[in-house]
Structure 1
Protein backbone atom coordinates (compact mmCIF):
# COMPACT_ATOMS: atom_id res chain seq x y z
CA UNK A 1 0.00 0.00 0.00
CA UNK A 2 2.86 2.38 0.83
CA UNK A 3 4.83 1.69 -2.33
CA UNK A 4 1.92 1.15 -4.71
CA UNK A 5 2.29 4.51 -6.46
CA UNK A 6 6.04 4.94 -6.01
CA UNK A 7 8.43 5.18 -8.94
CA UNK A 8 11.95 3.77 -8.38
CA UNK A 9 14.66 6.45 -8.23
CA UNK A 10 12.00 9.17 -8.33
CA UNK A 11 10.08 8.96 -5.08
CA UNK A 12 11.32 5.57 -3.88
CA UNK A 13 14.88 4.41 -3.33
CA UNK A 14 16.21 1.19 -1.84
CA UNK A 15 19.60 0.96 -0.18
CA UNK A 16 21.03 -2.54 0.14
CA UNK A 17 22.92 -2.13 3.40
CA UNK A 18 25.02 -5.24 2.85
CA UNK A 19 26.99 -2.89 0.58
CA UNK A 20 27.77 -0.74 3.64
CA UNK A 21 29.62 -3.43 5.56
CA UNK A 22 32.51 -1.03 6.34
CA UNK A 23 32.17 2.41 7.99
CA UNK A 24 34.10 4.00 5.13
CA UNK A 25 31.08 3.29 2.90
CA UNK A 26 28.77 5.52 4.97
CA UNK A 27 29.93 8.56 3.03
CA UNK A 28 28.13 7.17 -0.01
CA UNK A 29 24.94 8.31 1.70
CA UNK A 30 25.96 11.90 2.38
CA UNK A 31 28.96 12.50 0.12
CA UNK A 32 32.67 12.61 0.92
CA UNK A 33 34.23 14.94 3.43
CA UNK A 34 35.54 18.28 2.16
CA UNK A 35 38.79 18.13 0.18
CA UNK A 36 38.03 14.57 -0.92
CA UNK A 37 37.53 13.92 -4.61
CA UNK A 38 33.85 14.23 -5.54
CA UNK A 39 32.67 15.69 -2.23
CA UNK A 40 30.79 18.46 -4.06
CA UNK A 41 28.62 15.91 -5.83
CA UNK A 42 26.75 15.05 -2.63
CA UNK A 43 25.63 11.61 -1.48
CA UNK A 44 23.12 9.10 -2.81
CA UNK A 45 20.73 9.64 0.09
CA UNK A 46 21.03 13.42 0.38
CA UNK A 47 20.72 13.96 -3.38
CA UNK A 48 17.69 11.70 -3.64
CA UNK A 49 15.82 13.37 -0.78
CA UNK A 50 16.72 16.86 -1.99
CA UNK A 51 15.41 16.13 -5.49
CA UNK A 52 12.23 14.50 -4.13
CA UNK A 53 11.63 17.48 -1.85
CA UNK A 54 12.07 19.90 -4.73
CA UNK A 55 9.49 17.99 -6.78
CA UNK A 56 7.09 17.94 -3.84
CA UNK A 57 7.42 21.71 -3.38
CA UNK A 58 6.73 22.33 -7.06
CA UNK A 59 3.71 20.04 -7.17
CA UNK A 60 0.53 22.08 -7.58
CA UNK A 61 2.56 25.27 -7.25
CA UNK A 62 3.93 24.25 -3.90
CA UNK A 63 0.45 23.77 -2.49
CA UNK A 64 0.88 20.43 -0.71
CA UNK A 65 3.21 21.18 2.23
CA UNK A 66 2.25 18.10 4.25
CA UNK A 67 2.55 15.65 1.36
CA UNK A 68 5.12 12.86 1.79
CA UNK A 69 7.98 13.56 -0.58
CA UNK A 70 9.55 10.10 -0.88
CA UNK A 71 10.04 6.64 0.61
CA UNK A 72 13.52 5.41 1.58
CA UNK A 73 14.09 1.71 2.27
CA UNK A 74 17.15 0.60 4.22
CA UNK A 75 17.12 -3.09 3.37
CA UNK A 76 18.83 -5.63 5.67
CA UNK A 77 20.03 -2.97 8.07
CA UNK A 78 21.60 -5.64 10.29
CA UNK A 79 24.21 -6.28 7.57
CA UNK A 80 25.61 -2.76 7.74
CA UNK A 81 28.76 -1.99 9.73
CA UNK A 82 28.41 -0.98 13.35
CA UNK A 83 27.75 2.71 13.78
CA UNK A 84 25.33 3.30 10.91
CA UNK A 85 22.42 4.40 13.09
CA UNK A 86 24.76 6.60 15.09
CA UNK A 87 25.92 8.12 11.80
CA UNK A 88 22.27 8.76 10.86
CA UNK A 89 21.09 9.79 14.33
CA UNK A 90 20.21 13.39 13.48
CA UNK A 91 18.57 12.23 10.26
CA UNK A 92 16.29 9.82 12.13
CA UNK A 93 15.63 12.21 15.01
CA UNK A 94 15.25 15.67 13.46
CA UNK A 95 14.69 14.76 9.81
CA UNK A 96 17.79 16.68 8.75
CA UNK A 97 20.97 15.45 7.13
CA UNK A 98 24.06 17.39 6.11
CA UNK A 99 25.87 16.41 2.92
CA UNK A 100 29.58 16.60 2.20
CA UNK A 101 29.31 20.27 1.24
CA UNK A 102 27.74 21.14 4.57
CA UNK A 103 24.29 21.81 3.10
CA UNK A 104 21.38 20.54 5.19
CA UNK A 105 18.72 18.41 3.52
CA UNK A 106 15.16 18.59 4.83
CA UNK A 107 13.94 15.00 5.21
CA UNK A 108 10.99 15.64 7.53
CA UNK A 109 8.53 14.56 4.84
CA UNK A 110 10.42 11.40 3.89
CA UNK A 111 9.10 8.03 5.01
CA UNK A 112 11.93 5.79 6.26
CA UNK A 113 11.53 2.00 6.30
CA UNK A 114 14.05 -0.58 7.52
CA UNK A 115 14.09 -4.35 7.19
CA UNK A 116 16.14 -6.77 9.23
CA UNK A 117 16.41 -10.42 10.18
CA UNK A 118 16.89 -9.43 13.81
CA UNK A 119 14.29 -11.00 16.05
CA UNK A 120 13.98 -14.06 13.88
CA UNK A 121 14.78 -16.40 16.77
CA UNK A 122 12.27 -14.65 19.02
CA UNK A 123 9.56 -14.86 16.35
CA UNK A 124 10.22 -18.53 15.62
CA UNK A 125 9.92 -19.34 19.32
CA UNK A 126 6.85 -17.22 19.94
CA UNK A 127 5.00 -17.43 16.60
CA UNK A 128 2.50 -14.76 17.62
CA UNK A 129 2.76 -10.99 17.86
CA UNK A 130 2.41 -9.46 21.30
CA UNK A 131 4.05 -7.17 23.83
CA UNK A 132 6.45 -9.88 25.00
CA UNK A 133 7.54 -10.62 21.43
CA UNK A 134 8.12 -6.92 20.68
CA UNK A 135 10.22 -6.64 23.82
CA UNK A 136 12.41 -9.59 22.82
CA UNK A 137 12.83 -8.21 19.30
CA UNK A 138 13.80 -4.79 20.65
CA UNK A 139 16.54 -6.39 22.72
CA UNK A 140 18.01 -8.03 19.63
CA UNK A 141 17.68 -4.82 17.61
CA UNK A 142 19.37 -2.88 20.41
CA UNK A 143 22.29 -5.29 20.41
CA UNK A 144 22.75 -5.96 16.70
CA UNK A 145 21.63 -2.71 15.02
CA UNK A 146 21.57 0.15 17.52
CA UNK A 147 25.17 -0.27 18.76
CA UNK A 148 23.69 -1.04 22.21
CA UNK A 149 22.60 2.60 22.46
CA UNK A 150 19.07 3.23 23.68
CA UNK A 151 19.04 6.65 22.03
CA UNK A 152 19.33 4.89 18.67
CA UNK A 153 16.57 2.44 19.56
CA UNK A 154 14.29 5.30 20.56
CA UNK A 155 14.60 6.84 17.10
CA UNK A 156 13.38 3.79 15.21
CA UNK A 157 9.67 4.37 15.79
CA UNK A 158 7.35 1.40 15.29
CA UNK A 159 8.71 -2.14 15.04
CA UNK A 160 6.48 -4.47 13.01
CA UNK A 161 7.25 -8.19 13.44
CA UNK A 162 6.53 -10.48 10.50
CA UNK A 163 5.22 -13.67 12.03
CA UNK A 164 5.09 -16.89 9.97
CA UNK A 165 2.45 -16.94 7.25
CA UNK A 166 -0.68 -19.02 7.64
CA UNK A 167 -1.62 -21.62 5.06
CA UNK A 168 -3.88 -19.09 3.35
CA UNK A 169 -1.05 -16.60 3.20
CA UNK A 170 1.30 -19.16 1.71
CA UNK A 171 -1.28 -20.01 -0.96
CA UNK A 172 -1.43 -16.34 -1.95
CA UNK A 173 2.36 -16.26 -2.30
CA UNK A 174 2.32 -19.38 -4.50
CA UNK A 175 -0.52 -18.00 -6.62
CA UNK A 176 1.46 -14.82 -7.18
CA UNK A 177 4.51 -16.83 -8.21
CA UNK A 178 2.38 -18.82 -10.68
CA UNK A 179 0.94 -15.60 -12.10
CA UNK A 180 4.46 -14.37 -12.75
CA UNK A 181 5.20 -17.56 -14.69
CA UNK A 182 1.93 -17.09 -16.60
CA UNK A 183 2.98 -13.57 -17.56
CA UNK A 184 6.26 -14.90 -18.93
CA UNK A 185 4.43 -17.52 -21.00
CA UNK A 186 1.96 -14.96 -22.36
CA UNK A 187 4.72 -12.46 -23.17
CA UNK A 188 6.75 -15.04 -25.09
CA UNK A 189 3.73 -16.00 -27.22
CA UNK A 190 2.20 -12.57 -27.84
CA UNK A 191 -0.56 -13.22 -25.28
CA UNK A 192 -1.99 -16.01 -27.49
CA UNK A 193 -1.07 -18.76 -25.05
CA UNK A 194 -2.47 -18.58 -21.52
CA UNK A 195 -1.54 -20.55 -18.43
CA UNK A 196 -4.12 -22.03 -16.06
CA UNK A 197 -3.76 -24.21 -12.99
CA UNK A 198 -5.89 -26.16 -10.54
CA UNK A 199 -6.39 -25.56 -6.82
CA UNK A 200 -4.74 -28.92 -6.22
CA UNK A 201 -1.57 -27.65 -7.88
CA UNK A 202 -1.43 -24.63 -5.56
CA UNK A 203 -1.88 -26.84 -2.50
CA UNK A 204 0.78 -29.22 -3.77
CA UNK A 205 3.33 -26.42 -4.26
CA UNK A 206 2.53 -25.06 -0.78
CA UNK A 207 3.63 -28.39 0.72
CA UNK A 208 7.16 -27.50 -0.40
CA UNK A 209 7.19 -24.35 1.73
CA UNK A 210 10.25 -24.09 3.98
CA UNK A 211 9.63 -21.81 6.96
CA UNK A 212 13.34 -21.01 7.27
CA UNK A 213 13.54 -19.33 3.86
CA UNK A 214 9.89 -18.47 3.25
CA UNK A 215 8.63 -17.78 -0.26
CA UNK A 216 12.02 -18.40 -1.83
CA UNK A 217 11.49 -22.12 -1.23
CA UNK A 218 8.31 -22.31 -3.32
CA UNK A 219 9.75 -19.89 -5.87
CA UNK A 220 12.66 -22.27 -6.41
CA UNK A 221 10.31 -25.26 -6.58
CA UNK A 222 8.14 -23.51 -9.16
CA UNK A 223 11.22 -22.81 -11.28
CA UNK A 224 12.51 -26.35 -10.94
CA UNK A 225 9.28 -28.30 -11.40
CA UNK A 226 6.52 -26.15 -12.86
CA UNK A 227 8.69 -24.35 -15.38
CA UNK A 228 10.34 -27.64 -16.32
CA UNK A 229 6.94 -29.22 -17.05
CA UNK A 230 6.02 -26.16 -19.11
CA UNK A 231 9.29 -26.35 -21.02
CA UNK A 232 8.58 -29.93 -22.10
CA UNK A 233 5.14 -28.94 -23.43
CA UNK A 234 6.44 -25.83 -25.18
CA UNK A 235 9.22 -27.83 -26.84
CA UNK A 236 6.64 -30.31 -28.09
CA UNK A 237 4.49 -27.45 -29.33
CA UNK A 238 7.32 -25.92 -31.36
CA UNK A 239 8.07 -29.26 -33.00
CA UNK A 240 4.41 -29.89 -33.81
CA UNK A 241 4.23 -28.87 -37.44
CA UNK A 242 0.50 -29.61 -37.65
CA UNK A 243 -0.29 -26.73 -35.31
CA UNK A 244 1.43 -24.36 -37.74
CA UNK A 245 -0.69 -25.34 -40.76
CA UNK A 246 -4.20 -24.23 -41.59
CA UNK A 247 -5.23 -27.81 -42.36
CA UNK A 248 -4.17 -29.15 -38.98
CA UNK A 249 -5.87 -28.86 -35.59
CA UNK A 250 -6.40 -25.38 -34.14
CA UNK A 251 -3.44 -23.92 -32.27
CA UNK A 252 -3.51 -24.34 -28.50
CA UNK A 253 -4.92 -21.44 -26.51
CA UNK A 254 -3.81 -22.47 -23.03
CA UNK A 255 -1.63 -24.76 -20.98
CA UNK A 256 -3.33 -26.39 -18.01
CA UNK A 257 -1.27 -27.33 -14.95
CA UNK A 258 -2.35 -29.99 -12.49
CA UNK A 259 -1.00 -32.60 -10.12
CA UNK A 260 -1.09 -36.21 -11.20
CA UNK A 261 -0.46 -39.21 -9.03
CA UNK A 262 0.91 -42.41 -10.51
CA UNK A 263 0.80 -45.73 -8.63
CA UNK A 264 4.43 -46.46 -9.43
CA UNK A 265 5.65 -43.00 -8.44
CA UNK A 266 6.75 -42.25 -4.89
CA UNK A 267 4.98 -38.89 -4.96
CA UNK A 268 2.67 -36.90 -7.27
CA UNK A 269 4.17 -34.94 -10.11
CA UNK A 270 3.19 -31.84 -12.02
CA UNK A 271 1.60 -32.36 -15.41
CA UNK A 272 1.15 -29.72 -18.11
CA UNK A 273 -1.43 -30.27 -20.87
CA UNK A 274 -2.12 -28.22 -23.99
CA UNK A 275 -5.71 -27.03 -24.37
CA UNK A 276 -6.91 -26.35 -27.93
CA UNK A 277 -9.86 -24.26 -28.99
CA UNK A 278 -12.59 -26.20 -30.79
Structure 2
Protein backbone atom coordinates (compact mmCIF):
# COMPACT_ATOMS: atom_id res chain seq x y z
CA UNK A 1 0.00 0.00 0.00
CA UNK A 2 2.80 2.38 0.94
CA UNK A 3 4.60 1.86 -2.38
CA UNK A 4 1.41 2.33 -4.39
CA UNK A 5 0.99 5.87 -3.03
CA UNK A 6 4.60 6.70 -3.84
CA UNK A 7 4.24 5.22 -7.31
CA UNK A 8 1.08 7.26 -7.92
CA UNK A 9 2.90 10.45 -6.88
CA UNK A 10 5.83 9.63 -9.14
CA UNK A 11 3.59 8.87 -12.14
CA UNK A 12 1.79 12.19 -11.62
CA UNK A 13 5.09 14.11 -11.54
CA UNK A 14 6.37 12.39 -14.68
CA UNK A 15 3.07 13.03 -16.49
CA UNK A 16 3.28 16.76 -15.68
CA UNK A 17 6.77 16.85 -17.18
CA UNK A 18 5.63 15.21 -20.43
CA UNK A 19 2.54 17.43 -20.64
CA UNK A 20 4.55 20.66 -20.24
CA UNK A 21 6.94 19.70 -23.03
CA UNK A 22 4.12 18.62 -25.35
CA UNK A 23 2.17 21.86 -24.76
CA UNK A 24 5.21 24.04 -25.54
CA UNK A 25 5.92 22.20 -28.78
CA UNK A 26 2.27 22.33 -29.88
CA UNK A 27 2.04 26.03 -29.05
CA UNK A 28 5.12 26.79 -31.11
CA UNK A 29 4.00 24.66 -34.05
CA UNK A 30 0.64 26.47 -34.04
CA UNK A 31 2.43 29.83 -34.25
CA UNK A 32 1.47 30.88 -30.72
CA UNK A 33 4.97 30.70 -29.25
CA UNK A 34 7.47 33.50 -28.91
CA UNK A 35 8.87 33.88 -32.43
CA UNK A 36 12.36 35.07 -31.41
CA UNK A 37 13.01 32.37 -28.82
CA UNK A 38 13.54 28.60 -28.93
CA UNK A 39 10.47 26.37 -29.33
CA UNK A 40 10.72 25.50 -25.64
CA UNK A 41 13.24 25.67 -22.84
CA UNK A 42 13.00 23.41 -19.81
CA UNK A 43 14.94 22.77 -16.63
CA UNK A 44 14.38 19.20 -15.42
CA UNK A 45 15.31 18.68 -11.79
CA UNK A 46 15.53 15.48 -9.83
CA UNK A 47 17.78 12.73 -8.56
CA UNK A 48 19.74 10.46 -10.86
CA UNK A 49 17.68 7.81 -12.61
CA UNK A 50 14.24 9.44 -12.78
CA UNK A 51 14.20 9.82 -16.56
CA UNK A 52 15.31 13.38 -17.28
CA UNK A 53 17.58 12.36 -20.16
CA UNK A 54 15.20 9.63 -21.26
CA UNK A 55 12.47 12.22 -21.78
CA UNK A 56 14.77 14.22 -24.07
CA UNK A 57 15.50 11.10 -26.13
CA UNK A 58 11.80 10.22 -26.31
CA UNK A 59 10.99 13.76 -27.44
CA UNK A 60 13.54 13.52 -30.26
CA UNK A 61 12.00 10.28 -31.50
CA UNK A 62 8.47 11.72 -31.38
CA UNK A 63 9.34 14.99 -33.09
CA UNK A 64 11.78 13.82 -35.75
CA UNK A 65 11.44 10.01 -36.02
CA UNK A 66 15.20 9.66 -35.69
CA UNK A 67 17.66 9.66 -32.81
CA UNK A 68 20.42 11.76 -34.36
CA UNK A 69 18.54 15.04 -33.88
CA UNK A 70 19.63 15.14 -30.22
CA UNK A 71 22.52 17.50 -29.50
CA UNK A 72 23.87 16.43 -26.13
CA UNK A 73 26.28 18.67 -24.26
CA UNK A 74 27.80 17.34 -21.03
CA UNK A 75 28.19 20.48 -18.95
CA UNK A 76 30.75 18.91 -16.60
CA UNK A 77 33.22 19.54 -19.46
CA UNK A 78 32.59 23.30 -19.22
CA UNK A 79 33.63 24.06 -15.64
CA UNK A 80 36.32 26.61 -16.55
CA UNK A 81 35.74 30.07 -17.97
CA UNK A 82 37.80 29.48 -21.11
CA UNK A 83 35.71 26.43 -22.03
CA UNK A 84 33.01 28.71 -23.51
CA UNK A 85 35.18 28.90 -26.61
CA UNK A 86 34.70 25.16 -27.10
CA UNK A 87 30.93 25.69 -27.12
CA UNK A 88 30.76 28.57 -29.60
CA UNK A 89 34.28 28.36 -31.16
CA UNK A 90 37.43 30.29 -30.41
CA UNK A 91 37.79 33.95 -31.32
CA UNK A 92 39.73 34.91 -34.42
CA UNK A 93 43.48 34.54 -33.96
CA UNK A 94 43.27 31.75 -31.39
CA UNK A 95 43.98 28.07 -31.94
CA UNK A 96 40.97 26.34 -33.46
CA UNK A 97 39.21 29.53 -34.52
CA UNK A 98 38.51 28.16 -37.99
CA UNK A 99 36.48 25.28 -36.52
CA UNK A 100 32.97 25.75 -35.21
CA UNK A 101 32.07 25.22 -31.59
CA UNK A 102 30.53 22.01 -30.28
CA UNK A 103 27.13 23.63 -29.79
CA UNK A 104 26.99 26.19 -32.59
CA UNK A 105 28.22 23.83 -35.29
CA UNK A 106 25.80 21.06 -34.30
CA UNK A 107 22.79 23.41 -34.31
CA UNK A 108 23.91 25.14 -37.51
CA UNK A 109 23.95 21.77 -39.27
CA UNK A 110 20.73 20.53 -37.64
CA UNK A 111 18.54 23.56 -36.85
CA UNK A 112 15.55 21.36 -35.97
CA UNK A 113 16.82 19.49 -32.94
CA UNK A 114 16.57 18.96 -29.21
CA UNK A 115 19.55 20.42 -27.35
CA UNK A 116 20.25 18.66 -24.05
CA UNK A 117 22.51 20.40 -21.54
CA UNK A 118 23.22 17.59 -19.08
CA UNK A 119 24.15 18.45 -15.46
CA UNK A 120 23.87 22.18 -16.14
CA UNK A 121 24.72 23.16 -12.55
CA UNK A 122 28.36 22.16 -13.14
CA UNK A 123 28.98 24.76 -15.84
CA UNK A 124 30.91 28.00 -15.28
CA UNK A 125 28.89 31.22 -14.99
CA UNK A 126 30.24 32.49 -18.31
CA UNK A 127 28.64 29.44 -19.94
CA UNK A 128 25.36 30.42 -18.25
CA UNK A 129 25.66 33.90 -19.77
CA UNK A 130 26.00 32.34 -23.21
CA UNK A 131 22.96 30.14 -22.60
CA UNK A 132 20.97 33.18 -21.48
CA UNK A 133 21.68 34.80 -24.84
CA UNK A 134 20.31 31.71 -26.58
CA UNK A 135 17.19 31.67 -24.39
CA UNK A 136 16.54 35.41 -24.82
CA UNK A 137 17.44 36.02 -28.46
CA UNK A 138 17.09 32.58 -30.01
CA UNK A 139 20.45 33.00 -31.73
CA UNK A 140 24.14 32.86 -31.00
CA UNK A 141 27.08 34.19 -32.99
CA UNK A 142 30.06 31.87 -33.24
CA UNK A 143 33.75 32.82 -33.44
CA UNK A 144 33.57 33.05 -37.23
CA UNK A 145 30.83 35.69 -37.09
CA UNK A 146 28.05 33.37 -38.26
CA UNK A 147 24.70 33.71 -36.51
CA UNK A 148 23.29 30.34 -35.51
CA UNK A 149 19.50 30.19 -35.23
CA UNK A 150 18.10 28.38 -32.16
CA UNK A 151 14.43 29.27 -32.77
CA UNK A 152 13.55 25.77 -33.98
CA UNK A 153 15.26 23.93 -31.14
CA UNK A 154 13.88 22.58 -27.90
CA UNK A 155 16.35 23.27 -25.10
CA UNK A 156 16.40 20.91 -22.13
CA UNK A 157 18.69 21.41 -19.15
CA UNK A 158 18.98 18.69 -16.53
CA UNK A 159 20.21 19.08 -12.99
CA UNK A 160 20.40 17.29 -9.66
CA UNK A 161 19.90 20.55 -7.74
CA UNK A 162 17.48 20.08 -4.86
CA UNK A 163 17.14 16.35 -5.44
CA UNK A 164 17.20 15.65 -1.71
CA UNK A 165 14.20 17.95 -1.21
CA UNK A 166 12.24 16.21 -3.96
CA UNK A 167 12.97 12.84 -2.39
CA UNK A 168 11.70 13.99 1.02
CA UNK A 169 8.46 15.08 -0.65
CA UNK A 170 8.13 11.84 -2.58
CA UNK A 171 8.68 9.67 0.49
CA UNK A 172 6.16 11.65 2.53
CA UNK A 173 8.56 13.32 4.97
CA UNK A 174 7.21 16.69 3.79
CA UNK A 175 4.50 17.81 1.42
CA UNK A 176 5.31 18.08 -2.28
CA UNK A 177 4.56 21.82 -2.17
CA UNK A 178 7.14 22.34 0.60
CA UNK A 179 9.64 20.22 -1.34
CA UNK A 180 8.96 22.20 -4.53
CA UNK A 181 9.45 25.52 -2.68
CA UNK A 182 12.78 24.35 -1.25
CA UNK A 183 13.95 23.23 -4.69
CA UNK A 184 13.05 26.61 -6.17
CA UNK A 185 15.06 28.36 -3.45
CA UNK A 186 18.11 26.26 -4.33
CA UNK A 187 17.68 26.77 -8.08
CA UNK A 188 17.11 30.54 -7.81
CA UNK A 189 20.17 30.91 -5.62
CA UNK A 190 22.55 29.00 -7.88
CA UNK A 191 21.40 29.76 -11.43
CA UNK A 192 20.31 32.88 -13.31
CA UNK A 193 17.62 31.01 -15.30
CA UNK A 194 14.69 31.27 -12.91
TM-score, L = length of structure 1:
0.44
Q: Work out which of the residue numbers 23, 26, 33 in structure 1 matches 2:91.
A: 33
Q: Work out which of the residue numbers 35, 50, 55 in structure 1 matches 2:108.
A: 50
Q: Which has the higher contact order (CA 8 A, sep 6+)?
A: 2
Q: CA separation in 1, counterparts of 2:153 and 2:128?
A: 17
Q: CA separation in 2, counterparts of 1:104 and 1:135?
A: 38
Structure with greater helix share of residues: 2
TM-superposed deviation, 1:87: 2.4
SS in 1 for 2:159: coil
Are 2:169 and 2:176, in contact at CA under 8 Å, matched by a contact in 1? no
How many positions carry a matched residue from both structures? 131
Q: CA separation in 1, counterparts of 2:185 and 2:66?
A: 33
Are 2:162 and 2:186, in contact at CA under 8 Å, matched by a contact in 1? yes
Q: Deviations over 1:117-164 (max 9, x none)?
A: 1011211222178544333222212223x1xx4xx32xxxxxxxxxxx
- 1:24 aligned partner: 82
SS in 1 for 2:134: helix
- 1:242 aligned partner: none
- 2:43 aligned partner: none
SS in 2 for 1:28: helix
Q: Deviations over 1:233-260 (max 9, x none)?
A: xxxxxxxxxxxxxxxxxxxxxxxxxxxx
Q: Deviations over 1:195-236 (max 9, x none)?
A: xxxxxxxxxxxxxxxxxxxxxxxxxxxxxxxxxxxxxxxxxx
Q: Which has the larger radius of gyration?
A: 1
- 1:78 aligned partner: 121
TM-superposed deviation, 1:91: 0.4
- 1:2 aligned partner: 59
Cα distance 1:6–1:118, how it changes in 2: closer, same or farther (>3 A)? farther
- 1:193 aligned partner: none
Q: CA separation in 1, counterparts of 2:180 and 2:97?
A: 40
5+ long unaligned stretches in structure 1: 54-68, 154-278
SS in 2 for 1:32: coil
Name the Cα RMSD after superposition. 1.9
Q: Does 123-132 or 92-101 show the bigger shift?
A: 123-132
The answer to whether structure 1 residue 140 and structure 2 residue 186 are counterparts is yes
The answer to whether structure 1 residue 118 and structure 2 residue 161 are counterparts is yes
SS in 1 for 2:143: coil
Are 2:166 and 2:176, in contact at CA under 8 Å, matched by a contact in 1? no
TM-superposed deviation, 1:6: 3.4
Q: CA separation in 1, counterparts of 2:122 and 2:79?
A: 6
TM-score, L = length of structure 2:
0.61
Cα distance 1:130–1:108, how it changes in 2: closer, same or farther (>3 A)? farther
